[in-house]
Structure 1
């Protein structure tokens, strides 16, 4: 047993014979130049190992043990013969540090397995190669998620544009009938605007986007627009693989929606995007650019940015599209979406020379709006209006009448000291009135000393009635 006859400097050092440093929490110390090793275990007591000419000598400490939770050595035993016993820290891993990576890897593998369907599970023979097995699980999980996102984006785009095309076609047919009655031969001749048809078509696009985006935003994001997909890729929200397969799903969904609408309607589909009312190509490009910028900016600040109203983002995005359709339908057809233009043009096999504006303008708007959004993020725009999205509850003080008289975080020390001084007597007095036995004569004397209004207020201001309310 290692003994120390006089106080000596205790230092935690490495073994000079074997320069390997002691493990964290192992309790290896160098005392007075010797090289003893003390180890304690909860069920086996403490052992002492001393290096003597290269040999290890182990002795059991059966008595006089003192356990330290912090890993520091503590003296125990007789006062004349003192032994330094070190207990491993409760936060240290001890000799099982090598097992930790294996346990974490197995836990990660089991978590991934739970997210995979049975037909995508890896062969059980690969379990012995845990690194290859975990990598295979990750690849299959990524594949599964991409397939789900592709299918959801395709179906969501089909539903969004299907209802939009049907409603827009009805509005266009009604507007054409009105123009024939008014002897207006062409939309290019500054024909009067049919506001009812415009409102009907705009509501169809806006509501259809809001409903389907709200339905699919937890699955694929509910984008339904290749320009929006590019914008989210430029800001780092989406990866390259997501950019490719979501864009393909959106264009395919636009064509499928146009084909379904053309087959469901009794006549031909009348939902193409064309320049009307004397709108030039440059004007049409600027219309599409600014309208798409409005839509993408709403998506960035309502959906990409997480805040208290994120779950209502589809409603705001649908309203943004509704507003854009009101402004641009009678001039450009209100595309704002390359997939929305490609679908009817492909199904009807009709293209115009200026169709490029329905591609270049939305993509240009995506690039410019992404740059503006990243500039806002770089400048930390949250500091311009601090506390708008704060969900922190504050402790407020209320008076007798329920009025908020102060917030705990902002009350002055003098006000709080007044509350702490006055509140206990008032509360004690009220408690005495409640606890006194009515049969005792002292009740009358106690009732004669009823608390005043100020004392009631002080009692209500006491810490016992602190309410957690939003300030």
Structure 2
């Protein structure tokens, strides 16, 4: 048999295999969906294949019943917040008034802590570590309502535990709780918190959920988005940007200011805005076809 005949035979066999795969996907579309789900299961613990993501999932999917997801969210949130609380305690020790270096230290502490812990837990839970992020993923159709609720409870408990340990480890009064600057009105503080969370969730959607140049390294821009949000919000609202982060220190300090609600409502608004922006981009993308 000639070289050209051999190549022709190989090409024909490859074409037959490709056609058989295509026919299998056409007759069994659930197979293709499962394969797409498995592709992202370990890296993100979400399912970006649920296009166009307009139907909310209420009950736990089979892959969401893994206990490792919630264990990773607890220990991940605990480690992330404990590290950040201790950095904030060091930065705030002996501080009085506005100090740019203190703002940079706290912002870097929260940003780099999120980056490191999200990278280590992404295989098991997606490294959400924040009820606001989990809420955004629920609104986007990536996780179920039950998983969002379970993750949020686990994250808030982890935040309280981290605050208690940080308070015990670092001497003096709790200095890492959120406090609004007196020059900032409550309404402004609310929308500053909303913007900071919108920036974070927007980054999560466009780097971790959407195909992006970062691939499996989405935790890098996500960590930097939190760093940027803290640069904006530390001098104004104290930078909650995470209900678990805000609630834990308030419990440890036994102090809930009258405006504490902004650290819950702001993240809700921010998540909604980020998901809405993501949907608008997807709808107006000519390459994206609605199912």
Normalised TM-score (structure 1)? 0.47
For residue 346 of structure 1, report the CA deviation from its aligned partner. Answer: 1.0
> In the TM superposition, what whole-angstrom CA distance separates every residue of 1:202-260 from its partner, at most 9, and x where no partner exists?
11000000000011111101011101101100110001221121111111111111011
Residue 130 of structure 2: which of 221, 225, 229 is its match? 225
User: Any idea what the Cα deviations from partners look like across 1:279-303, whole Å, max 9, x if unmatched?
Assistant: 1101111111111111111111011
Deviation at 1:382, TM superposition (A): 5.5
In terms of Rg, which structure is larger?
Answer: 1
CA contact (8 A) 2:203 2:225 kept: yes
Alignment counterpart, residue 326 of structure 1, candidates 218, 223, 231: 231
Question: Could you tell me which of 187, 203, 206 is aligned with 2:108?
Answer: 203
Aligned to 1:336: 241
Task: Tell me which residue corresponds to 2:66.
Answer: 146
**Residues 96-245 of structure 1: pairs in structure 2 closer than 5 A:** 142=62, 145-176=65-96, 191=97, 193-245=98-150
- What is the aligned partner in structure 1 of residue 196 from structure 2? 291
For 1:321 and 1:344, locate their aligned partners in 2 and report how far apart those are by CA, in whole Å.
19
Gaps of 5+ in 2: 1-19, 21-60
Who is 1:33 aligned against? Answer: none
Selected match of 2:266 from 355, 361, 374: 361
Per the TM alignment, residue 142 of structure 1 is displaced from its structure 2 partner at its CA by: 3.9
CA contact (8 A) 1:275 1:333 kept: yes
- Judged with a 3 Å threshold, the aligned counterparts in structure 2 of structure 1 residues 223 and 381 are, in CA distance, closer, same or farther, namely farther
Structure 2 distance, partners of 1:261, 1:170, is 11
Structure 1 distance, partners of 2:260, 2:151, is 22
**Residue 143 of structure 1: how far off its partner (Å):** 8.3
List aligned pairs for 1:377-392, cutoff 5 A: 377-380=282-285
How far off its partner does 1:144 sit? 8.3
- Is the 2:64–2:147 contact (alpha carbons within 8 Å) kept by the matching residues of 1? no
CA distance in 1, matches of 2:143, 2:174: 34
- Relative CO higher for 1 or 2, CA cutoff 8 Å, sep ≥ 6? 2
TM superposition shift of 1:267: 1.9
Structure with greater strand percent: 1
Deviations 1:111-163 (A, max 9, x none): xxxxxxxxxxxxxxxxxxxxxxxxxxxxxx94884311011000000000000
Unaligned runs of 5+ in 1: 1-90, 92-140, 177-190, 384-471
2:252 matched residue in structure 1: 347
- Alignment CA distance shift 1:167-1:148 (3 Å): same
Q: Is the 8 A contact 1:231 1:366 kept in 2?
A: yes
Q: Tell me, in whole angstroms, the C-alpha distance in 1 between the residues paired with 2:63 and 2:209.
A: 24
Aligned to 2:217: 312
Would the alpha carbon gap of residues 381 and 252 (structure 1) be closer, same or farther in structure 2, given more than 3 Å must change?
farther
- Offset at 1:171? 1.2
Query: Cα RMSD between the aligned structures?
Result: 1.8
Rate the CA distance shift 1:351–1:378 in 2: closer, same or farther, 3 A.
same
The answer for the alignment partner of 1:123 in structure 2 is none
Describe the shift of the 1:339–1:144 C-alpha distance in structure 2 as closer, same or farther (beyond 3 A): closer
Q: Shift of the alpha carbon at 1:308?
A: 3.5
- Cα shift readout 1:66-121 (whole Å, capped 9, x = no counterpart): xxxxxxxxxxxxxxxxxxxxxxxxx9xxxxxxxxxxxxxxxxxxxxxxxxxxxxxx
The residue that corresponds to 1:251 in the other structure is 156
Richer in helix (by share): 2
Q: 1:260 to 1:379 in 2, by over 3 A?
A: same
Match of 1:131 in 2: none
Q: Does the residue aligned with 1:159 lie in a helix, a strand or coil?
A: helix
1:381/1:202 CA distance change after superposition, 3 Å: farther
Equivalent residue in structure 2 for 1:274, among 179, 202, 210: 179
